[in-house]
Structure 1
Amino acid sequence: MQTGQTADIPGTARGWTVTIAALGINMLIGILYSWSIIQRAMVVNWGWSNTEASLPYTLCIATFALTMIFAGRAQDRYGPRPVALLGSIMFGGGLIGSAFAPAPALMMVTFGIACGIGIGLCFSAATPAAIKWFDPGRKGFVTGVVVAGVGLSPIYTAPLTEALLRAYTIEQTFLVLGIIALAGLLLLSLVLANPPARHENAGTDVTADPRVIITDIPWREMIRTRTFIILWSSYLLSAAGGLMLVGHLAGIAIVQAQWEAGFVLVVILAIFNTLGRLAGGYISDRSGPVSALLLMFMIQAVNIFLFTFYRSVPALMAGSAIAGFAYGSLLALFPAATAGYFGLRNLGVNYGIIFTGWGAAGIVGPIIGGAAADITGSYNLSYIISAVMLLGGAVIVNQLRKTG
């Protein structure tokens, strides 16, 4: 039995209230994308190595992705509110606990595991809760609005974290961020609700894609399908390049343009990441997820390859904007594709499983970037590898056109 249901009609004020709450939740858990600022402080102030300071971030991504599987199933069974409330406690508590974890091993537990679980619980509850209120023609756009919160987050969390670190210690910064996140997430989680059961299957059609399956498919059947393999593997191949850039933009600015203000590239990428999430959902509604995915894969492949030639600040800014837009679109397109091919009833657990492709990319991408820089002294090799992976993803996802 699902909790928090009302008798409102999908798409009305109640649906938009849930959508705004889901957007707010994602804006609060998006601090993950500002980790590089905290990481720098740990290296400078605590004397941690770059590897030690990056371990909590890497573990958080992996835990986030794995939690999505179980959290999605819980959301499908119990509804979004209790799942999000538990996630709020885990994420806020993890940040607060990090204030008392001045050692890599402890930080991996508090931030890497606790915060990762919290992000997975909150994210898995927010997106399905919102899109279930709307008809098929608007689900892509609504998905884009909700996941845009994660993209918007660094726009305020980056300067906030920087300001806190300048005024206070790292421990105090974690404490303040944790209190803000805990209070905000608990309040917003109370707003989440599923629509009445009769509305959840208002349709799973995805515009302009006549081959999309319209039957609700449980996860055990989904993972046996060719479509699942295609979506999962293309998610891994396409997201790795974007996550590589997210984790290394500051270093790229120094190596390629001798520019110390690399945080500006992070903000630019975050802004266009948000726009991409919104545009991705809109494009999906009009052209179908397969066409939209192919377009973004090709744009990102060309752009990442051209990063080998971006040697000036304006060029890096333009490249970061394009990379952010293309990467952000994926976070709206893959949930829409999952809903379109496998239905809405089991969307939480189904997308949670497909989302592990992103989690794998979060490990592969940054490792490729770091290893390439360590071995060659530049990021050129990582750009070439990322571009090839994206082209491979395009070839794979194009097979969906042949999947009936």
Structure 2
Amino acid sequence: MNTTARGWSVTLAGTGINLALGVLYTWSVFAAALIEQYHWTKTAASVPYMLACAVFALMMVPGGYLQDRFGPRIIASAGGIFAGLGLILSSLTHSLSMLMLTFGLLAGIGIGLGYASATPAAVKWFPPGKKGFISGIVVAGFGLASLYIAPLTNFLLKRFGIENTFRLEGILFLVTIILLAQVLAVPRVGDQPDSKEPDNVRRLVPVNSLSSNNIPWRNMLKRQEFYLLWLMYAAGASAGLMIIGQLSSIAKTQAGITWGYAMVALLAIFNASGRVAAGWLSDKIGRAGSMRLFFLLQAINMLLFTHYDSAMLVAIGAAAAGLGYGALLSLFPSATYDYFGTKNAGVNYGFVFTAWGVGGVFGPLMAGRIADATNSYSLAFMISFALCILAFVLTFFLKKTGYSLGISNIPSQR
């Protein structure tokens, strides 16, 4: 198998792993069932999801380090075992404390290990000018997962109940992830992709590019770019994860919709589309410009979300939220590879990804508490609007990096 074909097989395997790990994004369907059947509060129903997001993000650092050192195959397999067992053990209880342990901790560990292994393995098979596009394809699996897992979960909940749904999905995803993990690999010496750029593409990274140094994580933590990326990621992820974690409840509260799982599936389509589209666009116009565009989209949507009081308007809001949020999941790994190189891609992006975990804790918890206290999400939307505007402003402080279309025959800057 030639280098390109091997790279695409790794990319598709990574996408498939993320399609299974994306069960995290269907939590709002489980949460709605827990609220209805066991009379949980909205805040309580957010806690296992919130904890899973935090653990997922924290595990990206050791997971990234381990896959950099031992390879993605072993670490992704371990991720499948933890994620599957977390769901299976969730079937044995419906108490908050136990679901925090099984879904929040164990499944969160598995999701972090699996996710940390998929994208770095894939991008190493392709030249720099395709980093954004390949990252977008791999992480699109995670966003697209809700498209089939949300209706599957809703069907299983109605047919078999909460406990059996956890068990069946746990077995399914454990087997799927372990099998796909066997395809993951990184290129050996001599299999490195051709990094020569086409004549009509102009490199925007300065001659003293950070990425040329393949910066280790200790030096990365001394760079201004790391902290800018971290703050922007946390702000944008908070808004997106708030909607993802609460969408079924938001749809019911604002529009009286009892089939919120369909909105979750709709969001998944645009979540995945945003990842691929933003990855491709950022290869053309640069990471900062693409971030600016999608942060502005998020901000406008958050500002208007409180007025979405019909099925059609909630659907529009869900689509925009998915598009804006999904974009972040391909823009930020690509920007991390641009600024700090791909040699230490796993652990470096792991540190950047902790911002996603902070957003995953803050956004859903903040929204749940506000909704419990006021029976409205309006204040939560306004807080998210302010965070997205902050992220938009911070993009102007990033140094230029990425690719954009340039004048033909201008040589690439190295």
TM bracket (short chain): over 0.9
Tell me if structure 2 keeps the 8 A contact 1:207–1:287.
no
Distance 1:46 1:309 in 2: 30
Q: 1:185 to 1:108 in 2, by over 3 A?
A: same
Work out whether residues 204 and 340 of structure 1, in 8 Å CA contact, stay in contact via their aligned partners in 2.
no
Change (3 A) 1:402 1:278: closer
Corresponding residue for 2:148? 156
C-alpha change, 1:318 and 1:43, in structure 2 (3 Å) is closer
2:205 maps to 1:210: yes
Match of 2:27 in 1: 35
Which secondary structure does the structure 2 equivalent of 1:250 belong to?
helix
Unaligned runs of 5+ in 1: 1-7
**Structural mapping, 1:135-150, within 5 Å:** 135-150=127-142
Distance in 1 (alpha carbons) for counterparts of 2:194 and 2:225? 22
The two structures have a TM-score, normalised by structure 1, of 0.93
Partner of 2:288: 290
> Following the alignment from structure 2 to structure 1, what is the Cα–Cα distance between the partners of residues 42 and 366?
15
Matched letter for residue 85 of structure 1? S
Count of aligned positions = 395
Kindly tell me: are residues 340 and 120 of structure 1, through their superposed partners in 2, closer, same or farther at Cα, counting changes over 3 Å? same
Deviation at 1:209, TM superposition (A): 2.9
Deviations 1:227-261 (A, max 9, x none): 00000011011111111111222222233223333
Q: Which residue of 1 aligns with 2:405?
A: none
Tell me which residue corresponds to 1:3.
Answer: none
Equivalent-residue separation in structure 1 for 2:305 and 2:39 (angstroms):
32
Match of 2:233 in 1: 235
- Identical pairs, percent: 46
The farther-off stretch of 66-75 and 103-112 is: 103-112
Normalising by structure 2, report the TM-score.
Answer: 0.90
- Indicate yes or no: 2:255 matched with 1:257: yes
Paired residues for 1:44-63 under 5 Å: 44-63=36-55
Question: Residue 344 of structure 1 aligns to a residue in which SS?
Answer: coil
**1:313: Cα distance to partner?**
2.1
Report what 2:377 is aligned to.
379
Q: Is the 8 A contact 2:205 2:400 kept in 1?
A: no
Hey, what's the Cα distance between the residues in 2 that align with 1:198 and 1:347? 20
Which whole-Å CA distance do the structure 1 matches of 2:164 and 2:67 have between them?
A: 33
Q: Any conservation in 2 of the 1:201–1:345 contact (CA below 8 Å)?
A: no
Counterpart of 2:399 in 1: which secondary structure? helix
Once residues 61 and 318 of structure 1 are traced to their aligned partners in structure 2, the CA distance between those partners, rounded to angstroms, is: 25
Which runs of structure 2 are paired with 1:84-123 in the superposition (5 Å)?
84-123=76-115
1:186 to 173, 178, 183: 178
User: Separation in 2 of the partners of 1:66 and 1:179?
Assistant: 25
Most deviating of 365-374 and 228-237: 365-374
**What runs of 5+ residues in structure 2 fail to find an aligned partner?**
402-414
- Aligned residue for 2:222, secondary structure, equals coil
The question of 1:396 aligning with 2:359 is answered no
Q: What's 2:406 paired with?
A: none
Q: 1:43-73, CA deviations, whole angstroms, 9 ceiling, x for partnerless residues? A: 3334544433332211111100000000000
The offset of 1:138, in angstroms, is 1.2
Letter in 2 for 1:337: A
Change (3 A) 1:160 1:104: same
> Which amino acid is the alignment partner of residue 160 of structure 1?
L
What is the SS of the residue equivalent to 1:168?
A: helix
RMSD across aligned C-alpha pairs, in angstroms?
2.0
Counterpart CA distance in 2 for 1:250 and 1:339 is 35
